[in-house]
Structure 1
């Protein structure tokens, strides 16, 4: 096992993203391997179940919520390892499981899934950063995540733009400078964000063109995440409230003034 996987850096990343190392709990309400979600029928059956379990009004809302959760559980820890720890971590999809733990009557836990991973691989990223970064991003997206997003879009049905922005909002938070940093980020960190959102070709994402570019602005030739969403994730349809950056908020205010 790569030494990184036993470091505090990785352990903190795992804890921050609610990842369980090893097999999913035996008494979970529902468990499904990430590899199964690449299959349209298996994915459709799970999303139907998930819709009912979280009390979403339809499959479109359920699929959107799952994409947001995958961004949190799956994409951000891998990007964190790549950019901040210089490691290429790979989740083996057949050994990575979404699971819904059993909830007791007095437990206020979420009904959204958690992730259990086994058989992790990690490789220290050395040499030409541009070369290994492209390899890591292509595996993360074109090989693993994008096929799943395409399946969600097909069965929901749902716009890919919504799904990609759901992923983007998770990624962009990693690159937002802390107040203690006086608004500054390291050169390689900014370079990785520029690559992910602007320079990377559509090929490394498994699509025609970079799907994250439209969710950024450019300030002094430096890409930054847009301050408001372009698409609506549909969360309001199951919660009765809008996300803080929802584009529907202004429309709602305008309609109330009429």
Structure 2
């Protein structure tokens, strides 16, 4: 095992994202390997169950909520390790499980899934940063996440743009300017974000063109995540209220004034 996986840096990521190292709890309400979600039929069966379990209006809402959760549980930790700790961490999908603990057994009490991972791999990223960064992102997206997002959009009537923005809102906040320490660290953060959202080709994401570009804007010659969403994630259909970044807020306010 790479020494990074035993450091306080990685332990902090694990704790912040409530990742369980090992097998999912035996008495979970439900668990499913991430690899199974690449299969459209298995994904459809799980989303149908998930829709009922979280009382979502339809599969579209359930699929969107799951994509947001994956951005938090899966993508954000890997991007954090890459940019801030210079490590290429790999979740082996067949040994990575979404699981739903019994509510009374988990302090957060949410019906959304948590992540249990086994057989983690980590590789220190040295040498040409452009080369290993592309490799890490291609594995993260084109090989692992994008096939799952495609399965979600195939079984639920929602666009890939919504799913990609759900991922973007989870990783965009990692690159906030005040997260940097030294000027060198700040430069690495800017360069990684610029590559991830502007420079990387669609092939790195497993799609025709970079799916994150449209969710950024340029401020003071630096690319940053947009402060407001372009698409609606349907959160309001779960909670009865709009999230602060929802594009529907302005439309709702206009309709109330008419």
Please give the range of the TM-score, normalised by the shorter of the 2 chains.
over 0.9
What CA deviation, in whole Å up to 9, does each residue of 1:116-152 have, x standing for no partner?
A: 0000000000000000000000000000000000000
Give, in whole Å, the separation in 2 of the partners of 1:226 and 1:105: 37
What CA deviation, in whole Å up to 9, does each residue of 1:211-241 have, x standing for no partner?
A: 0000001123311111100000001012100
Question: Does structure 2 conserve the Cα–Cα contact (< 8 Å) formed by 1:177 and 1:183?
Answer: no
Give, in whole Å, the separation in 1 of the partners of 2:182 and 2:121: 35
Compute the displacement of 1:107 (Å). Answer: 6.6
**Cα RMSD (Å):** 1.9
What's 1:32 paired with?
A: 32
TM (normalized to structure 2)? 0.96
For structure 1, which segment, 108-117 or 22-31, has the greater mean C-alpha deviation from structure 2 after superposition?
108-117
What's 1:117 paired with?
A: 117
Cα distance change, pair 184–56 in 1 and its aligned pair in 2 (3 A): farther
Question: Does structure 2 conserve the Cα–Cα contact (< 8 Å) formed by 1:177 and 1:185?
Answer: no
What CA deviation, in whole Å up to 9, does each residue of 1:31-84 have, x standing for no partner?
A: 000000000000000000000000000000000000000000000000000000
How many residues align structurally? 258
What's 2:41 paired with?
A: 41
Give, in whole Å, the separation in 2 of the partners of 1:215 and 1:222: 14
Give, in whole Å, the separation in 2 of the partners of 1:189 and 1:174: 9
What's 1:186 paired with?
A: 186
Give, in whole Å, the separation in 1 of the partners of 2:204 and 2:26: 36
What's 2:228 paired with?
A: 228
Q: Does 1:209 align with 2:216?
A: no
Give, in whole Å, the separation in 1 of the partners of 2:231 and 2:76: 20
What's 1:15 paired with?
A: 15
Compute the displacement of 1:103 (Å). Answer: 1.5
SS of equivalent residue, structure 1 residue 231: coil
What's 1:245 paired with?
A: 245
What's 2:198 paired with?
A: 198
TM (normalized to structure 1)? 0.96
